[in-house]
Every structure is written in C-alpha cells, then in structure tokens.
Amino acid sequence: MINELYIKDLAIIEEASIPFDTGLNVFTGETGAGKSILINGINSVLGQRTNKDIVRAGCDKAYISALFSEIPDELSAKLDELGISHEEGQIALAREIRADGGSIARINGKAASVSLLREIGAMLVNIHGQHDGQVLLDPDKHMGILDSFGQLEDDVAAYNASFRSLQEISRRIHNMAVEQKHRMEQTDKLRAICSEIDAAELHPGEDIELETEYRVAQSSEDIISALSAVSYIVQGDDDSRGVTDMLGDALRELAPVTDRSKAYASVYERIEQLRVELDDIAYDVVSERDSIDTDPGRLAYLRDKLDTIAKLKHKYGPELDDVLHCAEDAREKLAEMSTMSDEITELMHSRDELLHKVSDMAKELSAKRTAAGERFASQVCGELASLDMPDVRICVDIVQGKLTGSGLDTVEFLISTNKGEDLKPLSRIASGGELSRIMLALKSVVSERDSIGTLIFDEIDTGVSGRAAGKIAAKLHKVSEKRQVICVTHLSQLAAMADTHLLIEKRSDGKRTYTGVHKLDTEGRKREIARIMVGDNITDTALKNAEELIMSDRDNVKEKL
C-alpha cells in the first residue's frame, strides 16, 4: 500500500505531502482544483509517460516521491534480484522531471531506468480511470481481460512460444523453397558448366605444361638440328672424329709421362674427367633429340587443346584455376539442391508435428477460455446486480477461427441491459453511467486474482447518481476491506464512505495559483460533503444531511449488495 505521496513544483501544486491509510481513501475538490494533476503525479512516480509541461511555471524541475509498505513477495524477489534493499517491507519510488525534458528515476535512493520504475510500479498500484471505459468498448482488449481473470497467462505464453516456433519453421521452409526454385532455374546452366569444363579433362597447371610442349613442337626441326650438331662435334660420326676421340688421343700421348711429374699426372686426370663429362653430355643431347615428337598430329592436338583452354579462361577465368574452381562450385551447388530438398522434407515433417501440437494447445486454451468466460460472466453479473443493475446479462462470446498468436479465438463481451433484449456489443448498449458500473464490477472480479495492494479509481462514478451512486460507494468500500483503495470522486455518497477523506483546494494570491491537499477531520468532512451536495451556499440543513450521510450505518448499505 502507499503510505505517503510527496509532490513539489508539479503544475499548480507548489508542494504537498499527502498521507494515505488502509481502506478507502477519497479525494474531493472543486472542478479545476487539481485532481487530475494529482493522478498525473502518481502516474509519473509509477514510471508512466510524462512531459516537461507538467513542471510548475518558473521552476527547473518537478519532484514526486511515494513511500510504499507491505510490498508483495513478487516485488521483494525482484528487488533482491536487482540488489535493492527493502528493509521492513518498504520501498520508496521517486521521479524528477526537468523543465528541459529530462527525467531521473530512483528506487530506494538508487538510480534506475524509467522502464524499471514502470515495471515495479505495476506490481504496486493499479490505476483505473475513465479511459478504462474505452478499453471495455474495444473488443481487441477483451481477450486479455478474460485471460487475466482465468489466470491463463502462462498457458497463453506457452502457446505463443510454440506458435512463434511454428511461424519460424514455416518461414524457413518458404525461404528455402524460394531459394531452391531459383537454383532449379539455374540447374541447366550449372550442368552445362560442369559438362563443358569436365569435357576438357583439365588438371591444375596443365596450360603451362602444354604451352611449353607446344613451343618445343613448333621449333622441333631447329632443335633437332642443333642437338645433332652438338652430338657430331662431341662424338663425331663414321667419317669424322669428334672431340671425345681427340681427347682419347691426348690421353694416349700423355700416359707414358704421367709418372715423371705430378703436374703431368694432374693434367691427365683433368683431361680424363673432361672426356667423361663430354660423354655424358653427348648422351643427354642424343636423348633429348630422340625424345622430340615430330608427329604433326601431336602438334595439332596441342594447338586445339590450348585453344579450348583459352576459350574456357575467357569464359570462366581469367586463370585455369578459376576455370576448375567454377566447375567445382557448380557441382557443389547441384549437390546442395539435393541436400536442400531433403532438408525441406525434414522441416515439413517437423512443421506438421508442431502444427498438430499448436492446434491441440489452441483447442485446450479455447476450452479453458470458455470455462473462464462462463465463470467471468456469472461473477460480473452478480457484481452488477449488487450495483443496482439486476437485469443485466453479460456473455463472453468466443468464436473460433484460424490459428493466430493468441490461439483460435476472438473474444467479445456482449451485454443486455434489460430483460427481453438481445445480447449486443458493449459499444452499442452501455451509457456512461452503465459503463462506470460495468467497469467497477469487472475490476472487482479481476482484482481478486492479483496481488496488487493499491487500486486507484479516477472518477469511476462519472455519469452515476442516486441509488446507483450509493451502490458504487458501498462496492468500493467492500473492495477496500481487502486492499487499499484511492478514489477521486464528485459523489457525496462515495465521499461519505471514506476511511480517509482528502481535500484538494486551489487558491490564488493574485499573482500565482496554488493547490494544496490536506486530510479532513469530521467537521471538515461535513462541510465538504455538504458542498458536494448543494454547492458553495452551504446551509445548516445541508450540513445536517452531510452528517447523517457520514454517520449512516455502512453495514446496512452493504447488505443491499
């Protein structure tokens, strides 16, 4: 529950410290006194969106803080997780809003993000205003209300996670199918590439090898002639003696004198080595000459293959390695198509299994919603009967359709406000006063399902008067028996039911406007309730009627519920 709200320099509120208590806390005041500003201040400290215009004119910043006690276990666990102390089950939220548009949030004095402030604020306070009536009129909001009542949030979350998985696998299948179709359109081209390159029977570096051989083949006659001349000079022929023969003569001449001097022996060895080396050279020259292919067919083959390689390089190159890589890449893509087809088949099987699972989950969720809808309608009708609307029928209309992220269902609240009338959408039936009571009945039912300790109602009694106003007052007081209720009202019946009555007053010194908030004692309550009843011209009769209203037995009123 909220113990105290402190506001400084917020719009026309210069400074105010507002105490709250358990039970029903009621704010009253003249129109324009600042009741909406007070709600804006509470919204701000709970992390809701705000703007710099709420800073009091001439001030650098506005400051709002709120002290809470008896915080729920869920929040205690959250604070422990964040490392924020919360001694004696208390927590202080603060928000500073600068005139330049900046904002600073704090939780128990520790700096925090506004989003965290909003998350924590949602665990402490639930604010219901006139805009909630628009929520009731919007069928898109009805499913969330029903799921909250039926405590189906975990079921919805589990279903939605599976549904998102189904969407993701379906998206993958679609993307892969599109890609496969695109690749299939390229199949003939890829196969042609492989066929064309493979037909050439190439291997890395073959172009260099063939070019070398081709150059040799082109000049084979000149090479054979040169090598033959070298062989003739070195070895001679049948008619002529070669260099090696002459070296043999030299060795025979020198042999008889080698033992007379080491120098002669050395010369002999050198000539002998030279002759051996020349014999080897002659052998290699002859081998090279004899290995040269002078076949014209080979030359034509080399020319044709080099021409083929040149065309492939031009088409897929620039180098032979690029040509070979292109063929390999085409083969890999063709193989991937086969693999992708298998993967799509597996994914489709998984999708079918998941679709079956999601469909079962959706049907189960729909059944739970149907059961929750019956309980919800029964309880809301019971609450409405206690709010002087005994002939109202509420029906939760659940229609099944295709699978969506929230299940098979569309949900809409239908209503009949009079006996014999057909059920129709709320937007076509309910008046402002009826919406206020319907909303209070709905909140009374839904709020029993959560652990939020404070409920704030901002002029929920709009469009209501007479006996219905008394019923609303009694209902709010009954709700306040289990949790703290704060209510901004203009009804005397509701103000009279307050456990704590707070007056919002506006005054002016001729230069500036100021708004103050203070707790009323018994006499103050009588005057304020009399003002609500008759206006500013308060008479003794009005004061007496106000006193009687305050002193009336609440239990007798609540027996009518």
* Three-state secondary-structure class, residue 389: coil
**Measured distance CA(172)–CA(239) in Å, rounded:** 88
**Measured distance CA(370)–CA(375) in Å, rounded:** 9
Q: Please state the domain extents for the chain.
A: 2-129+417-558, 188-333
Identity of the residue numbered 409 = D
Residue partners of 313: CB distance under 8 A and separation at least 6: 207, 319, 320, 322, 323
Cβ count near 75 (within 10 Å): 21
> Looking at residue 519, what is its pLDDT?
92
Strands (E), 117-274: 125-128
Superfamily of domain 2-129+417-558: P-loop containing nucleotide triphosphate hydrolases (3.40.50.300)
**Measured distance CA(380)–CA(393) in Å, rounded:** 9
Bridge partners of residue 27, in order along the sequence: 488, 502
> Looking at residue 413, what is its pLDDT?
92
* Three-state secondary-structure class, residue 450: coil
The torsion defined by the Cα of 256, 259, 260 and 261, in degrees rounded to 10, comes to 120
Tokens of 100: 């330049």
Taking alpha carbons only, the member of 166, 229, 192 closest to residue 355 is 166
Q: Do β-strands 484-488 and 454-458 pair in parallel, antiparallel, or remain unpaired? A: parallel
Tokens of 411: 């949900």
Phi first, then psi, for residue 14 (nearest 5°) are -75, -50
Burial 110-134 (b: 16+ CB within 10 A, else e): eebebebbeebbebbbbbbbbebbe
**Measured distance CA(146)–CA(149) in Å, rounded:** 5
**Measured distance CA(121)–CA(2) in Å, rounded:** 11
Q: Do β-strands 407-416 and 393-404 pair in parallel, antiparallel, or remain unpaired? A: antiparallel
> Looking at residue 521, what is its pLDDT?
92
Q: In the chain, count H helices and then E strands.
A: 20, 15
Cβ count near 557 (within 10 Å): 19
| Contact indicator for 254, 246 with CB cutoff of 8 Å | no
> Looking at residue 331, what is its pLDDT?
86
Phi first, then psi, for residue 441 (nearest 5°) are -65, -45
**Measured distance CA(486)–CA(6) in Å, rounded:** 16
Taking alpha carbons only, the member of 456, 426, 432 closest to residue 127 is 456
Instruction: Give pLDDT < 50 ranges for the chain.
Output: 553, 555-561
* Three-state secondary-structure class, residue 204: coil
| Contact indicator for 431, 370 with CB cutoff of 8 Å | no
| Contact indicator for 396, 148 with CB cutoff of 8 Å | no
Q: In what order do the strands lie in the sheet with 407-416?
A: 393-404, 407-416, 424-425
* Three-state secondary-structure class, residue 491: coil
Provide the sign of the torsion angle of the four alpha carbons 54, 57, 61, 62, taken in this order: negative
| Contact indicator for 461, 532 with CB cutoff of 8 Å | no
* Three-state secondary-structure class, residue 234: helix
Taking alpha carbons only, the member of 454, 409, 373 closest to residue 145 is 373
Kindly report the pTM of this predicted structure. Answer: 0.61
- SS3 percent helix, strand, coil of the chain, rounded to 5, is 60, 20, 20
Taking alpha carbons only, the member of 128, 145, 125, 117 closest to residue 49 is 117
Taking alpha carbons only, the member of 443, 439, 490 closest to residue 469 is 490
Q: Do β-strands 484-488 and 103-107 pair in parallel, antiparallel, or remain unpaired? A: unpaired
Which residue's structure tokens are 């120098």? 263
| Contact indicator for 91, 108 with CB cutoff of 8 Å | yes
Identity of the residue numbered 38 = L
Label residue 523 exposed, middle or buried (CB < 10 Å: 0-12, 13-18, 19+). Answer: exposed
Q: Do β-strands 500-508 and 24-28 pair in parallel, antiparallel, or remain unpaired? A: parallel
Tokens of 545: 């009627």
